[in-house]
Structure 1
């Protein structure tokens, strides 16, 4: 890399850094807050690790009073806890805020390095890095305070891909990031499978065999989760057998395609077979397909959101990536693009891995466009090749002036405008919520929040979206949180048509306080409401109801009687505190 390319890469990284710091004021307020929902439960676990010396595997403070087993894998939490073990919990709080930004920036550099392996062209690699740096989904996942495992998983996947593209035995090292991923996320085999299938279409027999052997490394994750180890062992066997099939490609052009069809049939059979020890196959496929009752109510888990996939992956850059599928000779990128797009259609959350092939493929199309307008990207290589063939070129070499560079930069920024707009992160925790949570922490009966194995005296009932906030900031046990356990009872409470019906849930769940928020309610002037998924989880079918019918139904519910009428017509509830859009009620 020459000095000019290094300077441009630094500028791209700084641009990506600035975009990811956009919510600085929201994070560093009267105290440190985080962005989103899941980061708050990660920090609950980190706090337990640092202050109590253990990471709970069961938590009575969620799904109260029954509690819930914690299935999240531990590595990510221990990474965030590491500074706090030496300096105190405050160090982990700050580290958790900046860690996603650091990892997001490293992902930009990895995309640059992977692009260099693809074409060995600095301009192509720099444009790829630029596109990835502004891709909306990669920005969302690596915002300041987004202390969730997603960008960490993307980083490990990109690191594995970069190592896979390296020559020789360096490919073996690609299994190490996969092992780290397997210790951080139960869905790691999904991304490992994407890499494995893509490798079959790019590498020769020997290289595929090396990649297969590298997948034996994450089999060590069976120490933490036996089914994870089985999954990676299956992927390793798939690649090793695939390397044998590669021998027959010269005689049978579509040997790999036939092999994939056979494997798909075998996987489908394992999914349908009523065999207990194959349950991990069924659960894995069900997770990808989004068959869980709660998944359609989660924004990032919705299916067939084609426009959402395209906008999250970069709008115009997604469109520009498509021509490259027919121009660029790289089977790995093509297959990875198609597979990641398909799983993104099944669940919007998987678009995080689509961003990488979109960035590189769109960069290739853009480079071809620049070549057509006499801005040399690949020109030097072509001229060298023509000289080797003995051809003499009579035309003078194209001179690139400063205004040409400025025009290219302006063109790239124009293409990125929709990305900049879509990358603006909405405010998740409003000032009303911050005030309400801190008031609850200071004024409601204290609970021994760090004792996850000890059942507290009471719980706070709200919708599951806000459970982690109440748990971590207010330090109070909740009926339901972002694991969705307990969401059915919360939904039945809010949709209850009588106070007697609601009190059955209150007594069952030992609820002492109820928190409502404006965005749960239904208003005639807008269809944007979280009440629809509440109805779905409660067992109703709002998709078959007219808007007026939904409003009429809402006006008879406990949610309406609490939030709109302020419990004035209820016997067992009273409004305790009003924070504007957020209201706290006490059970008498």
Structure 2
């Protein structure tokens, strides 16, 4: 079978290839299901998917209504939802269609949607690749779309029920439709005097506008693609004016697309006040009007300046841009401030955003770890597009280039856009592969083509002794000389194979690892306990509320924890967190960060009073300076961060000069609210031994180097510190530090209004260490007041069987105690009355006295 025979089966072979690529993409994305699915439901990945499932449950109950305001998070204000309804409604529709009624059934159906959307990217990228390149480009794009790794893969895995993959799907669909439209208009020029020439372009542009709306209804960041179109339009107009080419097509396309976008946005509804483009505000309609107006201006100005030197057109545009910006600054300063603010917010960064993983800048190390040799293919694809567009006009490829550059810049500023960039990397890599294949095809075809049989007369001449060379068939012209195209293709193919192999390896490792990446078992256990053992909030979990008319019922309350856990609290416990993973309720003097890092119980309790908080949930990750405590400290004070609470030192481990970096706890750490709650259960703690450490700063060292360590009694250690520092040389210091969060260096006072009511079963400390549980739940109570002097104590047994003694030093002749000795509704109980140490005085404290703040004699 020769190449002509194979070409007869091109369509079925292409369909088969796309089917195989799609199945591979789906199979990879379904791998986590094996470890995540259970009778209780699906152990979702990450944080936000839990909230999306909460929205899905409410939407199914009220289908197709969508809650734009949710009182089940961010107590006592509730949260306005800033992303669109389409992704949730698609899942809810799938749930209704399949008859999913129970929570496990809904979770299972929902988890299929991201993998299916990720799979749909295979034929879409084939289509775009073929439009922007050739068939080989399309096939390469389809193959790479199935295996490209990174956030793009992770956010389309089974179990990651979030809108990110829907953003990618519909934005890519929009870009593909826009490319198809400009390609059609290039081949079928628009003529405003010929109505028949307008029908197809208008129809294609209308479809493109609908595709834009689908992306917009998922997330308002779809506005980024309007920016891409605006940048492309400006560049294309400059190119067309310079080469004196018709300009009607872009005018028709942009006016149609963004008129539909503006009308669709108006029908969708203005959900948020102001003109911010990160929300569903009227600013979007203004922006689409600006794209239309800008395109009309470019078109009219080109007509006015026709026949004049080409350089005058960009110069005039630059002048108009400066004048326009100045006019906007004076005539509409609010709008100007919003535009500048949006730009700075998008491309800038703050220290607190560095605590949010997806808001961090994209480093080269991270990029290489994710895409490796794909970065080389992407760069080569960009270079090819630049080279081809310098030589001749390819508006579709110019759009791909602008699209890719804007997304690349966005990703460099904020790593969250990496899942968008995977599409561009795939497409540009495919363009590189397709270009190399096209260069090599003449050589490949020449080598695959069968040699023609010698002509009869040539064979006869040989019998007569003719020259053998006369009868030899001539080689294809492309096969003569050095096969440069074939060598180039071989090089590209080698890089592609390495890229594909590394991507598949990363894909499989990511998918396998995701089997065990759901909610922490201790958190799930604690929140299920909370659902069963704490008062109902009085808010209907499944109802959809209007912000303007909603009021929290009496008895509603908040749950304070770090923002990472807010959605778990909402979904699993069906309680209302004071902070959530939208970074709401985190910052400010009464945010979650301030509450947990403060060392004043009185000030921390003011925060809970203001926020209506009844329960506080802590975990070991919030507790450790090397984990989430770092983020809390940075949110609390972005200038100092974790430095007041942590000292990093180099500890010598060999005589040859090898060191290990260790992190020690300073005296400032132990009185923080998170430490007093999680480490000491709110009890007073006095140190028995502390680490006295001498260290010095050495030139070239990444941290000070430990010179001496002693374990001393607290008073002796403090005296030693004073003596050493009084006569220390420059760069040498001594201090008292703790190696563990449970080893204070000074007396830590008791908390008067916080009692442990539940703890999870897992001890996070190694054998021989203290019994410190992974998750703890505390209740904030008024506390009963007892008159007395000295130290009051009561023995407590937790619901896991752990025993500890709650101790408190009197203040001004009174104690305020949080634990009841009789009538406690929780599994954490006291085993006897309170007693004042060193005396025979004992006290029984009822639950009623604790909850009403009674004063006992």
Same fold (TM over 0.5): yes
Gaps of 5+ in 2: 1-9, 186-200, 241-246, 271-281, 389-396, 450-474, 649-663, 685-750, 763-773, 782-857
Residue 179 of structure 1: which of 193, 213, 217 is its match?
213
Q: Is the 8 A contact 2:43 2:518 kept in 1?
A: no
In the alignment, the residues of structure 1 paired with residue 133 and residue 580 of structure 2 have an alpha-carbon distance, to the nearest angstrom, of 47
In the alignment, the residues of structure 1 paired with residue 145 and residue 207 of structure 2 have an alpha-carbon distance, to the nearest angstrom, of 24
Match of 1:387?
A: none
Match of 1:541?
A: 639
Higher helix share: 1
SS at match of 1:473: helix
* Structure 1 residues 491 and 543: alpha-carbon distance in aligned structure 2, compared to 1, 3 A threshold: closer
Cα displacement (A) at 1:218: 0.7
Residue 288 of structure 1: which of 303, 321, 346 is its match?
346
Q: Is the 8 A contact 1:50 1:88 kept in 2?
A: no
TM-score (norm. length: structure 1): 0.85
Q: Across the two proteins, how many residue pairs are aligned to each other?
A: 570
Residue 455 of structure 1: which of 530, 552, 556 is its match?
552
In the alignment, the residues of structure 2 paired with residue 318 and residue 545 of structure 1 have an alpha-carbon distance, to the nearest angstrom, of 37
Cα displacement (A) at 1:201: 4.3
Q: Is 2:125 the counterpart of 1:111?
A: yes
Match of 2:356?
A: 298
Q: Is 2:752 the counterpart of 1:571?
A: yes
Match of 2:27?
A: 18
Q: Is 2:160 the counterpart of 1:146?
A: yes
Match of 2:51?
A: 41
Q: Is the 8 A contact 1:315 1:418 kept in 2?
A: no
Q: Is the 8 A contact 1:128 1:362 kept in 2?
A: yes
Match of 2:138?
A: 125
RMSD of aligned C-alpha atoms? 3.8
Cα displacement (A) at 1:264: 8.5
Q: Is the 8 A contact 2:351 2:638 kept in 1?
A: no
In the alignment, the residues of structure 1 paired with residue 129 and residue 443 of structure 2 have an alpha-carbon distance, to the nearest angstrom, of 14
In the alignment, the residues of structure 1 paired with residue 322 and residue 35 of structure 2 have an alpha-carbon distance, to the nearest angstrom, of 47
Match of 1:521?
A: 623
In the alignment, the residues of structure 1 paired with residue 299 and residue 109 of structure 2 have an alpha-carbon distance, to the nearest angstrom, of 43
Cα displacement (A) at 1:545: 3.0
TM-score (norm. length: structure 2): 0.60
Cα displacement (A) at 1:28: 1.7
Match of 1:324?
A: 381
Cα displacement (A) at 1:492: 0.9
Cα displacement (A) at 1:131: 2.4
SS at match of 2:153: helix
* Structure 1 residues 277 and 104: alpha-carbon distance in aligned structure 2, compared to 1, 3 A threshold: same
* Structure 1 residues 533 and 337: alpha-carbon distance in aligned structure 2, compared to 1, 3 A threshold: same
Q: Is the 8 A contact 1:249 1:256 kept in 2?
A: no
Residue 72 of structure 1: which of 83, 90, 101 is its match?
83
SS at match of 2:573: coil
Q: Is 2:283 the counterpart of 1:216?
A: no
After superposition, where does 1:339-354 map in structure 2 within 5 Å? 339-354=406-421
Residue 413 of structure 1: which of 480, 500, 504 is its match?
500
Q: Is the 8 A contact 2:374 2:499 kept in 1?
A: no
Match of 2:405?
A: 338
* Structure 1 residues 371 and 382: alpha-carbon distance in aligned structure 2, compared to 1, 3 A threshold: farther
Higher strand share: 2
Q: Is 2:578 the counterpart of 1:479?
A: yes
After superposition, where does 1:420-459 map in structure 2 within 5 Å? 420=507, 423-424=510-511, 427-447=517-537, 448=539, 449-451=541-543, 453-455=550-552, 457-459=556-558
Residue 582 of structure 1: which of 775, 779, 782 is its match?
775
Cα displacement (A) at 1:114: 0.2
Cα displacement (A) at 1:392: 5.3
The farther-off stretch of 578-587 and 147-156 is 578-587
Greater Rg over alpha carbons, structure: 2
Q: Is 2:15 the counterpart of 1:6?
A: yes
* Structure 1 residues 496 and 380: alpha-carbon distance in aligned structure 2, compared to 1, 3 A threshold: same
Residue by residue over 1:69-93, the C-alpha shift from the partner in whole angstroms, topping out at 9 and shown as x without a partner, is 3333333332222244563544654
Cα displacement (A) at 1:212: 0.8
Q: Is the 8 A contact 1:27 1:145 kept in 2?
A: yes
After superposition, where does 1:341-380 map in structure 2 within 5 Å? 341-367=408-434, 376=441
In the alignment, the residues of structure 2 paired with residue 272 and residue 27 of structure 1 have an alpha-carbon distance, to the nearest angstrom, of 57
Q: Is 2:585 the counterpart of 1:493?
A: no
- Where relative contact order (Cα < 8 A, 6+ residues apart) is larger, the structure is 1
* Structure 1 residues 394 and 490: alpha-carbon distance in aligned structure 2, compared to 1, 3 A threshold: closer
* Structure 1 residues 394 and 83: alpha-carbon distance in aligned structure 2, compared to 1, 3 A threshold: closer
